[in-house]
Structure 1
Amino acid sequence: MQSNKHLFVFLFALIGIHTTFLAQEDPITPLPIKAVQDSITAPLLPANILNDSIRVDTAATDSVQKQPSFLTDQIKYRAKDYVKLSQSENKIYLYNEAEIYYQDTELKAGIIVMDYVKNEVYAGRIKDSTGTYTQLPYFKQGDNEVRPDSIRFNFDTQKALIWNSRSEQQAGLGQLGSDAMKFYAEVTKKENDSVYFLSEAKLTTSKDTVDPDYYIRIRRAKFVPKKKIIAGFSNMYIVDVPTPIALPFAYFPLTVGRTAGLIFPTFGNDPQRGYFIQNGGYYLPISEYIDLSVTGDFYTNGSYGFRGASIYTKRYKFRGNINFSFENLIQSQKGFDDFSRSSNYNIQIRHTQDPKSNPNSRFSASVNLGSSQFFSNSLNQNNRNDVQTNTFASSISYAKTFPAYPSVNASMTLTHTQNSRTEQITMSLPTFQASMERIFPFAERDGIKKGIIQNVNFQYDVNAQNTLTTDEENFFTSAMFDDARIGARHRIPLATNFKLAKYLSVSLNGNYEDVWTLETIQRRFDADQQEVVTDTISGFDRFNRYSMGASIGTVLYGTFNFGEDKKIQAIRHVMRPSISYSYAPSFEQFFDSYIDGDGEEVQFTPFETSLYGRPSLNRSNSLNFSLQNTLEAKVRDKDSTAIEPRKVSILSNLTFSAGYNFEADSLKLSPINMNGATEIIRNVPINFAATFDPYAIDNNGRRINTFNINNGGGLLRLTSARINTGFSINSEMFKKGGRKTLGEENQDPQYGDNPFALDGVQTGETFFRREENDDGDVENPAFTNKLPWDMRLTYVATYNNNNRQREITNHSLMFSGNVKLTPKWEVGFNSGYDFRNKGFTDTRFNFNRDLDSFRLSFDWTPFGQFERWYFFIGIKSSILSDLKWENRSQPFRSVR
């Protein structure tokens, strides 16, 4: 009967497994048992059994529970070398590239042994021909993956013992993003799907989990996948060297997405304010759409600061952020003569609306306001990059479109401009604008418009403002509204155009404006005080003005052919001359007068304080000239297979403009302005401008009504000039034959890829660490005689000669760039040189080193007002970004 039992188990396993052996197994030997006829004869059924009533068996329900089936699901397995089924041990042996798939579990290893009675599996490594362990087990259950040296797992209890396991968990800390947290544990006990216990574990974000460049050693820990690790005593190791960075217990969040938690601060010492704690605080995800982080700085001399930052977003609706900073600055100590206390603040708001949310309604905001000296006097290193900010600007606007014909666009805008040097603040609270689309009253809406009548069109727009100018002292007080000015302007432009003599384009235009104001002035001469008194009169008043004009222009083309066999085959010159005339009458009706102390009549207009200018007492009657030029060449292409010549722009723009005033009693001709642009050097745009005066000047530098040529000078007198250019260059632009791989240039068979090597020792190895990856390839070699680099340059020069001073008022070169000394060493710089004042502008150097899991940076301003240095080294991963060390110098700052 025992042999029958084994045979039954074997047959049941074959039927339940439904698989095919991939290798030859041991043959089954028949048991030497004779078949003997059973001596027990089954009794015959009584003849009247069908007539008897059916009796209920009182022992129909067995009190002993049946053992459940040892396999609850279909199992699949295979191996490369052999698959062995041992009936005596109730086990399946799989060897070399073994795989088992059962329920939601996937297991791959060099060797796998499965006990199908206990529902338990063991997996481990195997040795290759060199004695090296290979084919480490790979265990996956659901979304959890483990790569141990060996594992023992029970399918029924879902418990496991894992030796030398390696696992990876995606984790993120709030707005910092997500990273992979990797850990290695000598022994791991799996209690269930959601709880693991670790013994002697290493926690790291390094790519190499076997020999990481750093790790946190954990003696005992509880691990909940995708949620947390709760550990006992833990300390940090760098290159297997223990450090004093330790905690009696630790908590590592592994949740993906935003999670509330502490923001670890930075510690340091300020020579003026003592020891400090910076950027420590708390992060709180308020809801699915908004979060909040609050950080603060505290100094032992009493100075402090705090910041609040919030990011909000809703897909297909809007997104934005709000930042608020406040700092209380204390200089010296109470009781000393140099003791001072001041405060700085800064508010930044950004809001953008998704265009798809409402195409006819738009709201946006860009706010940057605060103390003028906030960035220059800030305690925080994060504000270092904004110390040269001279202007704060803000704008909050709401716009609405009414699409029905004629469509109208309306907007309401609040603006703010603040000069950090003068501390002057200008605000518009608010500005209202509305404009109606162009209407052609004498033409069909969808028809073609021809002739002077059908092209007649007009528009309407209105602009209303409430502006005020104040200073930082009166900002946010009632005094800031003392000088507020309110006004509105209505404008109706009228225009038409037509062709004259086929080649001339003629335009006629007129403009009407109506200006409203709530404040006018009145002037009188006070005989007692012997001075002119200006009175401000509140109340509505208005004035209007109008003008008209005409212009005519054409386009002239000229081509100079040199022959297709020449390098320069042709030059094409395009000229666009135009003449325009404008006229506006005088508006004496909007002027008043008073008698001064000398008995003379002085005219003035009550609308001098209007936001939209004042009416003119003088008639305007002028003629303006303009000539625009473009010049390009056809050049034979260097590519012999090219069919068409290559076009090269010589002058993308060269414009001359001047005017003649018929109403002026002298100096009727205006200065001639010239501006142009060229890119004769590829990728190097050059812009230039100049002003020429046809009139001479006297000994006092004043213009006189005498042409310069008649005064012993040239036809025109250069009064000002300007040139500027900006371009970027890099090392790739100077290579021939395209991009080359690292170390390809100037290779010498004697010294390898370093022509400067001496006695077989590469000089790069004496300074740069040479790191190798798993394949033995050099990951961080020293560059040879050519280093990858890039540079950005901006050159500006300005010349002034209004009074024969021949002065260069601005002559500077700004430059910045980066140099990659090795693939992991990078040096950056940002500076400029003022040739006029013979000095460098704010100069900064930054050095960055990629240390695999760490990032090292050094920021240095060697001289100037903001002289300082800043050193940082820390873990790149956002999960452990609080493990860092910072040190800095503190420059002298004048606290205001």
Structure 2
Amino acid sequence: MTCQKTSHNFTKIVFKPLHTNLFNIVLISFFLTIGCGKSYSQEIKPKKKSLPAVKQTDKPSVKPNASTVAAPVAPAVTVDTVKIDSIKPKKAFLDAPTKYKAKDYAKYDKKNKTLTLYNEAELYYKDVELKSGIIILNLDKDEVYAGRIKDSAGVLVQYPNFKQGSNEVQPDSIRFNFKTKKALIYNSRTKQGELNIKAAITKKENDSVYFLKGARITTAEDIDNPEYYFQTSRIKFVPGKKIVAGLTQMVIADVPTPLALPYGFFPLSKEKSVSGIIIPSYNDSNTRGFSLQNGGYYFALSDNYDLTVLGDYYTNGSYAMRFESAYAKRYKYRGNVNIRFENLINSERGYPDYSKQNIYNIQWSHSKDTKSNPNSTFSASVNMGSSKYFQRSINQANIGSNLNNTLSSSISYNKTFNTIPGSRISLSATHQQNTQTEEILMTLPNFQGSIDRIYPFVGENGIKKGFFKNINLQYNVTGKNNFKTTDSLFFKPQMFRDAQIGMQHSIPISTNFKIFKYFSAGASTNYQETWVTKTIDKNYDPSKGEVSNTTVNGFDSYRTYNFSTNLGTTIYGTFNFGADKKIQAIRHVMRPSITYAYTPSFDRYYDHYTVDAAGRISTDEYTRFENGIYGAPGRENSNIVGFSLSNTFEAKVRDSDSTKTEPKKVMLLNNLNFSTSYNFNANGKETLAWQPVVVSGGTQFFDNKMNVNFGAVLNPYAIDNAGNVMNVYNIDNGGSLFRMTSANLTMNYSFSNKGTGKEKNTQSQRNGGRSDDLFGTNTDLNDTRNSQFANEKDDGENVITEFFSSKLPWDMTMAYSLTYTNVNRENKISGNSIMISANMDITPKWKGGISTGYDFVQKGVTFTQFRFERDLLSWRMAFNWQPMGTNSNWNFFIGIKSGMLSDIKWNKRSTSNR
């Protein structure tokens, strides 16, 4: 029996009523139906369930399908328990929940088994996140394709964004296979740490290896139009670990440069820092030849500490080494160590200006977190070495340190014992070094111990009130080992032979009480016992005609005591001007006090020696404790009364803001102090009874931005024609009540329109210089991460068009000093100078600064430094210039701001012949 296929051509038939039997009609229909059927001998499988139809629309204005819909999956297969077919069903490749959505439509093609998502399409499967203009999911090939779409203007938009785990790629288009995990990516853009990578073709081999063709690597933010990049033909890229490139050429502003390497390696460690080589910079000098500077190695030893080893080498034999380490442990301590050594050779051997010198500098800063142990502290601030290091260093150009005359160091450990009474000990080492005289005074160690105050007469209620109940005593002990030496003898045997060792015990007893309710009185006495290991013996040597000093080694001691008392009060005065006045009131606070101190004569510690001066016999006194570590006991009685008066002036001013009902307080004078003393034992010849009156004061203006301090010394005694002070009051000699012998005025003013304070010049301060930039900034510009632009990011706005409509950030620091001298009727201004430091954003990308000053007495310009800096987006350019003085120098630097590529730089500086 055959079956003819139904034709697609239909003929219109007009049915007419037939007069026949109903039975015959039904029978004929039954046989016709059987004749058109097919017979099968095999069991027929159940039909597949049809996919749900997706509603389509031609209108683009339809709202996006925001709901999350399950992706179409392969149908489930139902089989019998008896295997009847050798053909295995195809396994579904999407073995995890899949979500997708699109703005315009999500179309499923049943015949080709593809799902198309159009306009703002998104697909989520396992750890894969894909966003693009168009996404096509092919169920047969287990692939997904994503690409861009055109907007109404014909511009390609909605670039794909492919993210798998922590790796993210932004290409023009991408093909990804879910089964093999391989992908082909066209014009991919990815960011790894500070590096931006763009490649024409990227092949994703697996989750950890990518191969790139026609790639560029840069740290510029705009990967499509970078200021510079490294062009390479082939790259093996392991995310989070490394980039290995073939022939690599540097391109600046789309212009290829001759800077090329046969291969490139870029580490991509996720750690904060990794070890690596620090590329040196090239320089040259007229006196030392060619050089390589600041080359070395950085050791990332652990998360808690690191080490940087740097070196310089000059072709004439000069070299320098530097070791820098920073360390920190959270809630424990933090610090850094810098050790610098330089072997300086000037000119060439045989020339008259040839010289050779070794200089060094050691810096150590350490602080301990108080949370780690509240009962003990340890701190260190060390800056020691050769006195001329900062003046003669071939690597450091720190002007602030050059002008500083003192280096100082301190290391201390303090421990508190929770006993009754409480006690504490302190161990420290100190160092003071004059860089002009090269004298060094060092104390190593310095021990201090004390027991807290004890109130023996306090009752059971513990109330300390009155003269007797406030009586308290304390015990203090100190021990020192002093070294006084010079640069040339530092840490040599002579230094230790001249050491002075001593110990001093003191027991102060004091009390305080009220008199007539308004006066505070106090009294104290102090007993001291001093132990030393070295004394002197003086004798006159007739053969030499001079007095000889002999050092006596051995234990010796002396004991002293003194007594003092004081009386003081506080007086308040208010001058009211009325609530309707601008200045409503002025408040004056006075704190007068009088102090009496008495120290008896300890002449029992004085000896005599006989001197024969040209046949005349005389006797001189001396004490064997002269020049001792704690001084010497006094030979004369000290019977002195001191007077002091401190004042503060404060005003109540009506606030300019009318909504505020309370006036604001304005400080007129922070302090205005007067002090002098009278010696009852003055003999009128060597010692005058009255000491000069010392006046000092200070105040602040402009919201505490300007500090003004002043002082003067007023002498009540007159002087003779030779300039010697006489025991005659100046007013009795035809003069005024006081003769002003000296006066000084200093002003410091810092202001800016940035709204925040300037950062401190930390490294200059550690080197011994100023914390501000009045003496300039350091010109060691090798670390580009110290750039002013390093942490600034472009906000995407057109700063050029906004430039003239916005104010330019700037800041200024000013310091003025005036000194008047009239000791011997010279009546002159001995010092009158001003220093100014200003910094300004000349343009949004240019910064400029100047530090300069003028001495009105010497009539000349003081230290001057010019600073310029240019933000080249991912690059930084800087130029510092000091045009005048013995330390004149200049420095030019250009380099990449990124810390990863900080070795790509060019640094040129002048070399001083110091």
1:164 equivalent in structure 2: 187
User: Secondary structure of 1:110's partner?
Assistant: strand
Instruction: Decide whether the 8 Å contact of 1:486 with 1:611 is kept in 2.
Output: yes
Shift of 1:515: 0.9
2:161 equivalent in structure 1: 138
CA distance in 2, matches of 1:532, 1:89: 118
CA distance in 2, matches of 1:268, 1:446: 78
| Structure 2 residue 118 is matched with structure 1 residue 118 | no
Superposed CA deviations along residues 333-380 of structure 1, whole A, max 9, x for unmatched, are 233333222222222122221211112222222222222222222121
| Structure 2 residue 564 is matched with structure 1 residue 546 | no
| Structure 2 residue 661 is matched with structure 1 residue 636 | no
1:828 equivalent in structure 2: 849
CA distance in 1, matches of 2:676, 2:321: 57
Give the residue type in structure 1 aligned to 2:210.
Y
- Give percent identity, aligned residues only: 50
Quick one: structure 1 residues 463 and 386, their matched pair in 2 at CA, closer, same or farther if it must change by over 3 Å?
A: same
Give the residue type in structure 2 aligned to 1:511.
N
1:288 equivalent in structure 2: 303
**Equivalent of 2:114 in 91, 100, 120:** 91
Instruction: Decide whether the 8 Å contact of 1:519 with 1:609 is kept in 2.
Output: no
Superposed CA deviations along residues 128-156 of structure 1, whole A, max 9, x for unmatched, are 11000011001110111111110000111
After TM superposition, the structure 1 = structure 2 runs for residues 350-749 of structure 1, keeping only pairs within 5 Å, are: 350-381=365-396, 383=398, 386-444=401-459, 447-597=462-612, 598-666=616-684, 667-679=688-700, 682-683=703-704, 684-731=706-753
User: Secondary structure of 2:390's partner?
Assistant: helix
Quick one: structure 1 residues 713 and 556, their matched pair in 2 at CA, closer, same or farther if it must change by over 3 Å?
A: same
| Structure 2 residue 226 is matched with structure 1 residue 204 | no
Shift of 1:61: 12
TM-score scaled to structure 1, two decimals?
0.86
User: Secondary structure of 1:802's partner?
Assistant: coil
After TM superposition, the structure 1 = structure 2 runs for residues 229-308 of structure 1, keeping only pairs within 5 Å, are: 229-256=243-270, 257-308=272-323
Give the residue type in structure 1 aligned to 2:575.
F
Quick one: structure 1 residues 616 and 354, their matched pair in 2 at CA, closer, same or farther if it must change by over 3 Å?
A: same
1:215 equivalent in structure 2: 229
Superposed CA deviations along residues 464-517 of structure 1, whole A, max 9, x for unmatched, are 101011111111211112321111111111111111111111111111111111
Gaps of 5+ in 2: 1-39, 55-63, 73-79, 756-792
Quick one: structure 1 residues 284 and 785, their matched pair in 2 at CA, closer, same or farther if it must change by over 3 Å?
A: closer
CA distance in 2, matches of 1:426, 1:712: 47
Instruction: Decide whether the 8 Å contact of 1:22 with 1:83 is kept in 2.
Output: no
Shift of 1:559: 2.0
Quick one: structure 1 residues 7 and 465, their matched pair in 2 at CA, closer, same or farther if it must change by over 3 Å?
A: farther
1:8 equivalent in structure 2: 48
Number of matched pairs: 810
Shift of 1:785: 10
Quick one: structure 1 residues 718 and 581, their matched pair in 2 at CA, closer, same or farther if it must change by over 3 Å?
A: same
User: Secondary structure of 1:523's partner?
Assistant: strand
User: Secondary structure of 1:596's partner?
Assistant: strand
Superposed CA deviations along residues 677-716 of structure 1, whole A, max 9, x for unmatched, are 1235553221111111111111121111111111011111
CA distance in 1, matches of 2:438, 2:605: 36
Quick one: structure 1 residues 863 and 6, their matched pair in 2 at CA, closer, same or farther if it must change by over 3 Å?
A: farther
Instruction: Decide whether the 8 Å contact of 1:780 with 1:824 is kept in 2.
Output: no
User: Secondary structure of 1:632's partner?
Assistant: strand
Quick one: structure 1 residues 418 and 66, their matched pair in 2 at CA, closer, same or farther if it must change by over 3 Å?
A: farther
Shift of 1:188: 0.5
| Structure 2 residue 166 is matched with structure 1 residue 151 | no
Shift of 1:456: 0.5
Gaps of 5+ in 1: 15-19, 29-41, 43-56, 171-179, 734-771
1:127 equivalent in structure 2: 150
CA distance in 1, matches of 2:818, 2:165: 68
CA distance in 1, matches of 2:343, 2:734: 65
Quick one: structure 1 residues 553 and 486, their matched pair in 2 at CA, closer, same or farther if it must change by over 3 Å?
A: same
Give the residue type in structure 2 aligned to 1:563.
G
Shift of 1:435: 1.5
Quick one: structure 1 residues 833 and 789, their matched pair in 2 at CA, closer, same or farther if it must change by over 3 Å?
A: same
Quick one: structure 1 residues 233 and 214, their matched pair in 2 at CA, closer, same or farther if it must change by over 3 Å?
A: same
Shift of 1:158: 0.7
Shift of 1:571: 2.1
Quick one: structure 1 residues 297 and 689, their matched pair in 2 at CA, closer, same or farther if it must change by over 3 Å?
A: same
CA distance in 2, matches of 1:623, 1:367: 41
CA distance in 2, matches of 1:543, 1:346: 40
1:844 equivalent in structure 2: 865
CA distance in 2, matches of 1:151, 1:461: 80
CA distance in 1, matches of 2:561, 2:797: 82
1:175 equivalent in structure 2: none
CA distance in 2, matches of 1:61, 1:446: 105
User: Secondary structure of 1:8's partner?
Assistant: coil
Instruction: Decide whether the 8 Å contact of 2:65 with 2:103 is kept in 1.
Output: no
Quick one: structure 1 residues 435 and 10, their matched pair in 2 at CA, closer, same or farther if it must change by over 3 Å?
A: farther
2:202 equivalent in structure 1: 188
Quick one: structure 1 residues 805 and 382, their matched pair in 2 at CA, closer, same or farther if it must change by over 3 Å?
A: closer
CA distance in 2, matches of 1:817, 1:341: 39
TM-score scaled to structure 2, two decimals?
0.85
**Equivalent of 2:875 in 838, 854, 867:** 854
Give the residue type in structure 2 aligned to 1:247.
L
Give the residue type in structure 2 aligned to 1:709.
I
CA distance in 2, matches of 1:129, 1:376: 69
Quick one: structure 1 residues 671 and 396, their matched pair in 2 at CA, closer, same or farther if it must change by over 3 Å?
A: same
Instruction: Decide whether the 8 Å contact of 2:93 with 2:179 is kept in 1.
Output: no
CA distance in 2, matches of 1:459, 1:853: 64
1:762 equivalent in structure 2: none
Quick one: structure 1 residues 680 and 295, their matched pair in 2 at CA, closer, same or farther if it must change by over 3 Å?
A: closer
Q: CA RMSD for the aligned pairs? A: 2.7
Instruction: Decide whether the 8 Å contact of 1:23 with 1:81 is kept in 2.
Output: no
CA distance in 1, matches of 2:679, 2:460: 40
Give the residue type in structure 1 aligned to 2:256.
P
Quick one: structure 1 residues 776 and 578, their matched pair in 2 at CA, closer, same or farther if it must change by over 3 Å?
A: closer
Quick one: structure 1 residues 385 and 90, their matched pair in 2 at CA, closer, same or farther if it must change by over 3 Å?
A: farther
Quick one: structure 1 residues 775 and 799, their matched pair in 2 at CA, closer, same or farther if it must change by over 3 Å?
A: closer
CA distance in 2, matches of 1:774, 1:691: 57
Shift of 1:621: 1.0
User: Secondary structure of 2:48's partner?
Assistant: helix
Give the residue type in structure 1 aligned to 2:254.
D
User: Secondary structure of 2:495's partner?
Assistant: helix
User: Secondary structure of 1:833's partner?
Assistant: strand
1:760 equivalent in structure 2: none
Superposed CA deviations along residues 702-735 of structure 1, whole A, max 9, x for unmatched, are 11111111101111111111111111123579xx
Shift of 1:657: 1.2
